[in-house]
Amino acid sequence: MSIQKPLREQVLTLSAAYSKKVGKSEARLGTIIRNHGSFFRNMRRGGDCTTRNAESTVQWFSNNWPDDLPWPKDIVRPAPDPVSDDRK
């Protein structure tokens, strides 16, 4: 049985990997994904968010994940939404 990271850690792991791969700061990603530039910074400093916001953020990453970047093994990936209009 595989142990999954807590949801907060999942969001931060995805943010760091995606940010590094695409060359966008986490502040920019926070603005794109949550319309809140300090979203990830606040979480890294111990802040929190609602489960709904965390789950929709993970979904955004799944919808926009680069094909050449392996999805982290300790995070369950939701199926990408084929009709997503997310901004990269």
Residues 35-48 pLDDT 10s: 999 999 999 999 99
Phi, psi of 65 (to 5 degrees): -65, 130
How far apart are alpha carbons 25 and 81 in whole angstroms? 24
Residue 20 has pLDDT above 70, yes or no: yes
How far apart are alpha carbons 88 and 74 in whole angstroms? 24
- Give the model's pLDDT for residue 88: 53
pTM of the model: 0.88
Q: How confident is the model at residue 2 (pLDDT cuts 50, 70, 90)?
A: low
For 27-84, how does the pLDDT look when each residue is reduced to its tens digit (9 = 90+)?
999 999 999 999 999 999 999 999 999 999 999 999 999 999 999 999 999 999 877 6
Rg, Å, the chain Cα set = 12
